[in-house]
Amino acid sequence: MPSPFEVRPARDVDRRPLALLFAAVAEERDGIATEPPIDLESRAASWTLDGTTVAASGAEIVGSVHLDSSPHGFGEIGMAVAREWRGRGVGSALLEAAIEDARARGLHKVILSVFAHNAAALALYRKYGFVEEGRRVKQYRRTSGELWDTIEMGLLL
């Protein structure tokens, strides 16, 4: 039976769990741009709660998505799910919530950047209708020295 989780707007009490989740995903050095080290205290304190939706299982934050709304009608999202919770629909539930949030804010478009090798994220975004709009070549220099491409995606609402 799938483990239950709740999708809801982030609250002040979520700051540290959000920072911990972010740091754990950064440790993977794979899906998100940020790499360790991460200052948990400053990350928690500076987290922008407005536009953040979390997936919570009890007191644990198992996933989050942030919608950064621009004044130009589009919003950019970034998201992560705790490794042990992947493949159970958390990412889908969060992405649905973020798209709903974007509509509620009157935005006309949602955009995102994803590393070109990130098959799980690309599949998730395609499932919700995002289309590839371009590729940024050797955009991100990693601490390993590797240069990674990103795929730019967009969803017109």
Ligand X SMILES: CC(C)(COP(=O)(O)OP(=O)(O)OC[C@H]1O[C@@H](n2cnc3c(N)ncnc32)[C@H](O)[C@@H]1OP(=O)(O)O)[C@@H](O)C(=O)NCCC(=O)NCCS
Q: Which residues contact ligand X by CB under 6 A?
A: 25, 31-32, 79-81, 86-92, 112, 114, 118-121, 123-124, 127
Nearer to ligand X, 107 or 151 (CB): 151
Q: Closest by alpha carbon to 5, among 94, 105, 136? A: 94
Q: Please state the closest distance from residue 75 (CB atom) to ligand X, in A.
A: 14
Nearer to ligand X, 62 or 107 (CB): 62
Q: Please state the closest distance from residue 117 (CB atom) to ligand X, in A.
A: 10
Q: Please state the closest distance from residue 126 (CB atom) to ligand X, in A.
A: 8
Nearer to ligand X, 105 or 127 (CB): 127
109-115 vs 60-69, strand pairing mode: unpaired
**DSSP symbols for 53-108:** EEEEETTEEEEEEEEEE-TTSEEEEEEEE-GGGTTSSHHHHHHHHHHHHHHHTT-S
